[in-house]
Amino acid sequence: MSNSVETAVQLADLSATTLLRFATAGSVDDGKSTLVGRLLHDSKSVLTDQLEAVEAASLKRGQEAPDLALLTDGLRAEREQGITIDVAYRYFATPRRRFILADTPGHVQYTRNMVTGASTADLAVVLVDARNGIIEQTRRHAAVAALLRVPHVVLAVNKMDLVAYEEKVFASIAEEFTAYASELGVPEITAIPISALAGDNVVEPSANMDWYGGPTVLEHLETVPVSHDLTSCHARLPVQYVIRPQTAELPDYRGYAGQIAAGTFRVGEPVTVLPSGRTSTVAGIDLLGESVDVAWTPQSVTLLLADDIDISRGDLIVPSGDAPATTQDVEATVCHVADQPLTVGQRVLLKHTTRTVKAIVKEIESRLTLDDLSQHPHPGQLVANDIGRVKVRTAEPLALDSYADSRRTGSFLLIDPADGTTLAAGMAGESFATHKVLTTVEDEEGWDF
């Protein structure tokens, strides 16, 4: 084993690595567990005692080979039923990067889990079986990635060994998927032909597909850009907490603590505080003990302003030249994540950045079927795993961006005020980059009640 050599390489580079958050969507049938298992195993992230536990558990179930799904199916109910119910987070590292993998179940009844995993992902891996090509489930996964504005999508065309590693099989699936996902507005799509079982193009380049000149899955994960040029983004700082030491040495210190949600802030920059509209100038930026001239997302900072103005938790600090309009009428796409339904007229709490306000669901305009992007007008209610278009009226103005411009300041939760349940995850503005992809289907009265 060349473990010691690899370890030395890892150590030399670990301090300089960046973090990639990515999500996988797919079912066991697509070979997702095999792919995830191989990524973890080949990056030395499955350790001896974990593998021994999986082997023992597999044997107890009468399976001869270790079932790598048992690594991620952490709950008793999941193991008993042999299905993934919840999002499982897995962690692994290569010399180049640290990875946080949100492993989500692929079936339609778990759309909420897929949405959850995709909400923080920089990249989504969509799996298809090369023998089946693009199916409804694939279209749904692509739609979730597009809806959640995941910047990078990988189409892993799996089980290439079962189609004799034929280039034309891969090419036709890749072409169909790329056309579909581009139409939905996915900005970057990479298709990779793999066999997770045989190991082709997962970590090692395949010896069976000379015609493919692109990266392996791991190489792509290691090299895809995790951040972009932020100077063109709208800068946003939701205030989390006001830091006031009130000590003899610092009687007048007032710092506005928060994590920069988008863009960059600079000392000397004129800023506006929303929703009040008061203005000031950035006098200083404290980056966790270090005074800096510029800070950017997602750094947690404390902003010092030149003027003593009234600012509290829930306010949004933005550059004066680039403030979003405030509104009490929110039009958005929501994914319903609770077991109890969301109905027209329902009173809810809306949590946007660090601000929670009362709100009422004015209208549920349509329910969206992600498999074929058909819209069903006025469904009356949304139930678990439904995606719908809603209009919400808030009791107080919100400084809301469109989700397409800013994932963090364009997203919100709807919460049940009675028991605190998270009802729905909302994205302000248009669902997809292009509107023409949606078709409208008039349902019969009460079709889905």
Partner 1 sequence: MGHSMTSAITAGEGIDSPYALSHLDALESEAVHIFREVAGEFERPVILFSGGKDSIVMLHLALKAFAPAAVPFTLLHVDTGHNFPEVLAYRDRVVAEHGLRLHVASVQDYIDAGKLRERPDGTRNPLQTLPLTEAIQEHRFDAVFGGGRRDEEKARAKERVFSLRDEFSQWDPRRQRPELWQLYNGRHAPGEHVRVFPLSNWTELDVWQYIAREDIDLPQIYFAHEREVFKRSGMWLTAGEWGGPKADESVETRQVRYRTVGDMSCTGAVDSDATTLDAVITEIAASRLTERGATRADDKMSEAAMEDRKREGYF
User: By CB under 8 A, what part of segment 270-289 binds partner 1?
Assistant: 288-289
Per CB under 8 A, which region of 83-91, 166-174, 319-327, 428-436 contacts partner 1?
83-91
Distance in Å from the first CA to the final CA of the chain: 60
DSSP 8-state secondary structure symbol assigned to residue 159: -
Cis peptide before 245 (omega within 30 of 0): no
Taking the complex as a whole, the smallest distance from the CB of residue 232 to partner 1 amounts, in Å, to: 12
Dihedral sign (CA 91, 97, 102, 104):
negative
Of residues 27, 172, 208, 240, which one binds partner 1 by CB under 8 A?
240
Residue with smaller CB distance to partner 1, 180 or 265: 265
Taking the complex as a whole, the smallest distance from the CB of residue 123 to partner 1 amounts, in Å, to: 13
Hey, which residues does 368 pair with through a beta bridge? 375, 387
Q: Give CA–CA dist 332/323, Å, rounded.
A: 20
Contact, 156 vs 174, CB < 8 A?
no
Contact between 309 and partner 1 (CB under 8 A)?
Answer: no
Of residues 57, 162, 171, 360, which one binds partner 1 by CB under 8 A?
57
Contact, 144 vs 113, CB < 8 A?
no
Contact between 292 and partner 1 (CB under 8 A)?
Answer: no
**Token duo for residue 24:** 């996988």
Per CB under 8 A, which region of 96-104, 163-171, 275-283, 431-439 contacts partner 1?
96-104
Of residues 27, 55, 83, 96, which one binds partner 1 by CB under 8 A?
96
Per CB under 8 A, which region of 74-82, 178-186, 270-278, 440-448 contacts partner 1?
74-82
Q: Which residue has the tokens 């710092």?
A: 255
Per CB under 8 A, which region of 8-16, 190-198, 374-382, 390-398 contacts partner 1?
8-16
Taking the complex as a whole, the smallest distance from the CB of residue 175 to partner 1 amounts, in Å, to: 26
- Site residues for partner 1, window 367-406 (CB under 8 A)? none
Q: Which residue has the tokens 């066999």?
A: 195
Contact between 106 and partner 1 (CB under 8 A)?
Answer: no
Of residues 208, 279, 327, 422, which one binds partner 1 by CB under 8 A?
422
Contact between 310 and partner 1 (CB under 8 A)?
Answer: no
Contact between 55 and partner 1 (CB under 8 A)?
Answer: no
Per CB under 8 A, which region of 27-35, 113-121, 125-133, 168-176 contacts partner 1?
113-121
Distance of CA 322 to the CA centre of its chain: 26
Binding track over 330-349 against partner 1, x by CB under 8 A: -------x-----------x
Binding track over 191-210 against partner 1, x by CB under 8 A: ------------xxx-----
Per CB under 8 A, which region of 114-122, 159-167, 316-324, 370-378 contacts partner 1?
114-122
**Identity of the residue numbered 433:** A
**Token duo for residue 425:** 């995850």
Listed in sequence order, the residues at least 6 apart from 237 whose beta carbon sits closer than 8 Å to its beta carbon are 256, 258, 259, 260, 261, 265, 301, 303, 316, 317, 318
The DSSP-derived string for 359-420 is EEEEEEEEEEETTTTEEEE--SEE-TT-EEEEEEEEEEEEE---TTT-TTTSEEEEE-TTT-
**Token duo for residue 38:** 């191989």
Hey, which residues does 20 pair with through a beta bridge? 99
Taking the complex as a whole, the smallest distance from the CB of residue 240 to partner 1 amounts, in Å, to: 4
Residue with smaller CB distance to partner 1, 128 or 390: 390
List the one residue out of 210, 34, 261, 229 whose CA is nearest residue 125: 34
Residues in contact with partner 1, counted by CB under 8 A, come to a total of 104
Contact between 107 and partner 1 (CB under 8 A)?
Answer: no
Per CB under 8 A, which region of 48-56, 268-276, 367-375, 391-399 contacts partner 1?
48-56
Q: Give CA–CA dist 279/412, Å, rounded.
A: 26
Contact between 308 and partner 1 (CB under 8 A)?
Answer: no
